[in-house]
């Protein structure tokens, strides 16, 4: 235990020193409005350089990530079926799936799943 604590402390000190050294030696850039603006052959840009972003696509992507994380939480339950009592296993799975279904219903009710043009 003492060896593990010493190793963790040593790694923490090394990482902190490397991060401090990197921030001290890193190239400092001073950005201003002219450097951040898009350059079109010396002329002002005709239109905005930023592309419009679809908020609906962002919401669908966030919902996908949430359900993707929930799938990773379900996989260990599948592998641990031999170690847990079947009644407890069924209750845990049912509870988890009910939470998922409530979340989907809430998103559907809020209109986040409808794609508007």
What pLDDT is attached to residue 108? 84
Would you say residue 115 lies in a domain?
yes
Is 89:77 a contact under the CB 8 Å cutoff? yes
Residue 47 counted as domain residue: no
In a domain, 73, yes or no: yes
Establish if 31 belongs to a structural domain.
Answer: no
Name the residue range of residue 85's domain. 56-117
Flag whether 1 is in a domain: no
Rg (CA), the chain: 26
Residue 80 domain-assigned (yes or no): yes
Look at the chain and report how many structural domains it folds into. Answer: 1
Q: 74 near 96, Cβ under 8 Å?
A: yes
pLDDT of residue 76: 82
The CA–CA distances, whole Å, from 108 to 55, 63, 95 equal 16, 11, 20
Q: Where are the alpha helices (DSSP H) in the chain?
A: 2-25, 33-36, 55-79, 86-110
Given a contact cutoff of 8 angstroms between Cβ atoms, the answer to whether 92 and 76 are in contact is no
Domain-located, residue 25: no
pTM score of the predicted model: 0.45
What is the reported pLDDT for 103? 84
Q: Is residue 77 part of a domain?
A: yes
Residue length, the chain? 117
Spans of the chain below 70 pLDDT: 27-51, 115-117
What's the token pair of residue 28? 């400092």
């Amino acid at each position: 235990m003492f060896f593990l604590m010493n190793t963790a402390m040593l790694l923490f000190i090394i990482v902190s020193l490397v991060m401090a050294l990197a921030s001290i030696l890193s190239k400092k850039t001073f950005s201003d409005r002219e450097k951040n603006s898009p350059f079109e052959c010396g002329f002002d840009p005709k239109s905005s350089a930023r592309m419009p972003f679809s908020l609906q696509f962002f919401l669908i992507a966030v919902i996908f990530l949430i359900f993707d994380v929930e799938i990773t939480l379900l996989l260990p339950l599948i592998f641990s079926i031999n170690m847990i009592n079947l009644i407890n296993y069924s209750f845990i799975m049912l509870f988890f799936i009910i939470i998922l279904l409530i979340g989907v219903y809430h998103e559907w009710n809020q209109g986040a799943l409808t794609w508007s043009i």
